Amino acid sequence: MFKWLFHRQKQPQVSVESTPTKSADAAGSTLATQWEEVPNYLEVDPANELAASLIAAAVTADSAPDAKLVLKHLYVENPEAKRVGLIASAIAAGDGHGHYVVKSIKKKVD
């Protein structure tokens, strides 16, 4: 009665060729080539930016008058990142239902 259960015939195995799939690293590398991060601040040469250098020197001189000031790095705000942040905050204010945090800004590379 249970002969069919215990004495099954083996079916011939058919080889199935797998199709090549894209790996996650390959997809990530193409994504990285299509988008680049927009920095919040841009580094400038302190010798070329006299106004920013004077402001930094004035702030430092007020807090530590006996200190020697040497500017190694000077950063100014990126106008592109500022504009995108203002647009994002205006959209978020119009929604009014949540708390939004902009962690990074990316632009598409042509």
pLDDT digits (tens, 9 = 90+) for 54-91: 887 788 777 887 877 777 778 888 999 999 888 888 88
Other C-beta atoms lying within 10 Å of the C-beta of residue 81: 19
Read off φ and ψ for residue 35, nearest 5 degrees. -130, 140
pTM of the complete model: 0.50
Q: What's the whole-number mean pLDDT along residues 15-44?
A: 67
Write down the pLDDT at residue 1.
54
| Contact indicator for 102, 85 with CB cutoff of 8 Å | yes
Residue 28's pLDDT band (cuts 50, 70, 90): low
